[in-house]
Amino acid sequence: MSTQKRERELAKAKFERQQANRSARAVRAKRNQRITAVVVVVALIAAGVGFAVFNASNSGSPAITAETAPVDPNEVNPSDNESQEEATALDCTAPGTPRANDISYPDGPLALDTNPTSMVLNTNCGVITIALDPNAPETVASEAFLAQSGFYDDTTCHRLTTEGIFVLQCGDPAGDGSGGPGYSVPDENLPAEGEVNYPAGTVAMANAGPGTSGSQFFIVYADTSLPAGYTIWGSVVGGLDIVQEVGSVGVEGGISDGQPAQPVFINSATVS
């Protein structure tokens, strides 16, 4: 065999080995890409399930604690324009100026001269009427006292949740989830654990743990399941549609928990 022919065969063999190596590397790369894609999909699914479970059943759920989840200004609601149109359809007026957070009753609520059966929230979006529940006498007495004393006047409903649990939270003169009347009310009239134990129209106390109810309360606008630790003291008998429409407008920034995109301002609260 001539030297030139031998060199050509060696070059050909080297080229074929290089091609085989390239093919093997390509196969491995495609396999790794498929594996990575599967891992990412599984991780996203797991994260979504975890989020749903947390919002539906976690006992520290922000809708009923006395803390406000931060609103991420970087998250954009893809339906901002639609939300603004819905807000206009609510026929809400501009919210008023929140009062100073300077009222406190460290000695607890004062005794009432009446036995009220209903509370009326006159808001910038309309009137919400709540029938008071006699099965929660201490909480009802406290809520009636706070309404009669003007504690709820000129305050903002500072929180809305739209996934897993469906509530509008009000009653905080601080406007950020930290305010209260300076005293706590014992838990009472707690529902049983189970599905939809806080149905639409329920009005219950927010708290930061057992025995810590103060002035913050939440209105349930769609059937909701929660840990049974929140005193039920009333039910909406008029104006639930207002809260439901506020819920449909959503939360500022397009997230599921935070300040309502349509502000809800309590001009006054009265009992009768």
- For the chain, the structural domain boundaries read 1-57, 59-271
- CB proximity list for 215: less than 8 A, separation 6 or greater: 146, 151, 152, 171, 172, 173, 179, 180, 181
- The DSSP letter of residue 254 is G
What is the CATH architecture of 59-271? Answer: Beta Barrel (2.40)
More confident residue, 5 or 178: 178
Mean pLDDT of 23-40: 48
Q: How confident is the model at residue 87 (pLDDT cuts 50, 70, 90)?
A: very low
Rounded to an integer, the average pLDDT of 112-127 is 95
**Least confident among 82-86, 120-124, 201-205, 222-226:** 82-86
Confidence category of residue 145, pLDDT binned at 50, 70, 90: very high
∠ at Cα 159 (224, 66), nearest 5°? Answer: 85
C-alpha distances (whole Å) from 154 to each of 55, 93, 177, 193 are 30, 14, 16, 35
pLDDT, position 258: 98
Q: Where are the beta strands (DSSP E) in the chain?
A: 118-123, 126-132, 155-157, 159-161, 167-170, 202-205, 217-220, 232-238, 257-258, 264-271
pLDDT for the residue numbered 7: 52
pTM above 0.85, yes or no: no
How many CB atoms lie under 10 A from the CB of residue 56? Answer: 14
DSSP bridge pairs for 170: 217
Q: What pLDDT does residue 28 have?
A: 55
Stretch 244-262: mean pLDDT:
98
Q: Is the pLDDT of residue 80 over 50?
A: no
